[in-house]
Homo-oligomer: A and B are copies of this chain.
Amino acid sequence: MTTSTSDSALPAIQALQAELGPGAVFIAADVPARNRNDYSGIGPTAPLAMVRPADTAGVAVALRICHTHGVAVVPQGGLTGLCGGGRAGAHEVALSLERLVGIQEIDTASATMTVLAGTPLEVVQKAAAEAGFFCPLDLGARGSCAIGGNLSTNAGGNRVIRYGMARDMVLGLEAVLADGTVMTSLNKMIKNNAGFDLKHLFIGSEGTLGIITRIVLRLFPKPASTMVAMFAADDYATVLKLLSAARNGLGPTLSAFEVMWPDYWAMATRRVRGVRNPFAGDPRSEKDDADAYGAYVLVEALGTDAAQDAPRFQAWLEGLLEDGTVPNAVVSQSLADEKAFWGVRDACAEFHQLWPGHLAFDIGLPVTAMDDYARRCKAAITAQLPGCEAVFYGHIGDGNVHIVTYQSGVPAQPKDAVEEIVYGLVREYGGTVSAEHGIGTLKRRWLAHARSPEQIALMRTLKAAMDPKNILNPGKVI
């Protein structure tokens, strides 16, 4: 299934130059540095070429040519992926969507935005806000990542518990198939059961089944109020009680439920510069031994009434303190508090300064299994890799846990050993090896820990049917 480029690449490149124009084709050493790498931490690549078509028709031309000549194509958006899905090798053409940028339409009655796939997420968010709407998709790379890339990896983020994944925000899309066929379905209707819902093939498949060029996004009402609280919990059973209380008491306004295990809390509040402990003065939160709290939970709600929501949220929280559900809790009283509370949760972005080259994992687990998993995972890491630290945190309401590990005093982090532990336990607990970052190349060898042979076989059937020449992002995902 690998493509031979030695005899076919030159005519393909010549055809791409002839049909797209020389300004849209960069060859070998002329490929810009930006198109040679992503955020996966692997070294740069040397793609055969980079093309940057100006529009959907150009993407179709590029795919038709590459399909004819059997040259592999690697779609590239903002190149912020963490699993290597956007990396183009020496025999592959990088197809950058950097010129497919812009908002085509905002339909206020349908509450939809039609946008080109290369548009940065932050531009989408701002355009939605300017039109009086809210685009809830949000992640750290918002300024660089492209909305098309967000869809191709089915991006998650902090507000999935309320608004769902990127997939759930898409009503329609346009994609170019392996042979250059343009499939346009810019549907704006929430209900459309006319045959198979094809958009789901392209969302989350990392460019292996087609290249997304345009998207119809669902927009949401702007929240009128934001309430944030930090809870301390005695143990994981308390966390589960709090999750149930948040679902019932906050209902659909619940927008984040972020759990931090004690080791994460200690690392974030004591070792990361500029992070304030919301429970400063409470001796239990200063510990990381058996006397410390069992977990910390950041809860956020987005409401519709600035005057009434805050007192209601406060009353809900006080009820949980009064009835003893939680031992301690603080509610944000200002934007500064909000930032401080989120600052603890977001401190993980600064761990690389303390733990350069640390390993990071994005796994999914059934909610009930998470604490058992965390304990066993940490115990196994500590036992097998002396001195290796591991901290756990995540979007618990969505079944998503992140893990960061670091062994000091070693020439290279023990990646294989930690992966064996982390993903081995994932398999045991029926979890997933990728909750929100995708598979790319980095997690491909672990796919079978989360998907059955029958599922992987069906993925291959789909891939073979939709891309029989295996030119679309080959070697990624499966």
Q: Which residue of chain B has its CB nearest to the CB of A156?
A: B191
Count of residues in A whose CB is under 8 Å from the partner chain: 95
Contact of A432 among B165, B167, B194, B223 (CB under 8 A): B194
A464 beta carbon closer than 8 Å to chain B:
yes
Give the shortest distance, in Å, between A325 (CB) and chain B (any CB).
15
For A196-232 the 0/1 string (1 means CB < 8 A from B) is 1110110111000100000000000111100000000
Q: How far is the CA of A160 from the CA of B189 in the complex (A)?
A: 11
Q: Are A189 and B223 in contact (CB under 8 A)?
A: no
For A443-478 the 0/1 string (1 means CB < 8 A from B) is 100010011101111110110111000000000011
With A251-B223, A451-B195 as contacts: A458 and B189 at CB distance below 8 Å: no
Q: Are B160 and A434 in contact (CB under 8 A)?
A: no
Query: A465 — which chain B residues lie within 8 A by C-beta?
Result: 461-462, 464-465
- Copy tally for this chain in the complex stands at 2
Q: Are B243 and A109 in contact (CB under 8 A)?
A: yes
Q: Are B194 and A251 in contact (CB under 8 A)?
A: no
With A193-B153, A193-B436, A366-B188 as contacts: A198 and B168 at CB distance below 8 Å: no
Q: How far is the CA of A364 from the CA of B398 in the complex (A)?
A: 31
Stretch at the interface among A177-185, A292-300, A353-361: A177-185
Q: Are A221 and B248 in contact (CB under 8 A)?
A: yes
Query: A424 — which chain B residues lie within 8 A by C-beta?
Result: none
Give the shortest distance, in Å, between A176 (CB) and chain B (any CB).
10
A121 beta carbon closer than 8 Å to chain B:
no
Q: Are B189 and A364 in contact (CB under 8 A)?
A: yes
A192 beta carbon closer than 8 Å to chain B:
yes
A240 beta carbon closer than 8 Å to chain B:
yes
A2 beta carbon closer than 8 Å to chain B:
no
Q: Are B452 and A184 in contact (CB under 8 A)?
A: yes
Q: How far is the CA of A20 from the CA of B201 in the complex (A)?
A: 35
Contact of A247 among B111, B244, B368 (CB under 8 A): B111
Query: A304 — which chain B residues lie within 8 A by C-beta?
Result: 248-253
Give the shortest distance, in Å, between A309 (CB) and chain B (any CB).
10
A107 beta carbon closer than 8 Å to chain B:
yes
Q: Are B253 and A193 in contact (CB under 8 A)?
A: no
Enumerate 16 A-B pairs (CB-CB under 8 Å) in ascending A order. A109-B244, A154-B197, A187-B432, A189-B399, A189-B431, A190-B399, A192-B399, A192-B432, A195-B451, A196-B201, A197-B203, A197-B204, A198-B458, A198-B459, A221-B247, A251-B252
Other A-B contacts than A184-B452, A198-B458, A198-B459, 12 sampled, CB-CB below 8 A, are A109-B244, A192-B434, A193-B432, A194-B447, A195-B459, A195-B478, A196-B201, A198-B455, A200-B200, A251-B253, A305-B312, A462-B465
**Chain A residues near B (Cβ < 8 Å):** 107-111, 153-154, 156, 160-162, 164-165, 167-168, 177, 181-185, 187-198, 200-201, 203-205, 209, 221-224, 240, 243-244, 247-253, 303-305, 308, 312, 364-368, 395, 397-400, 431-439, 443, 447, 450-452, 454-459, 461-462, 464-466, 477-478
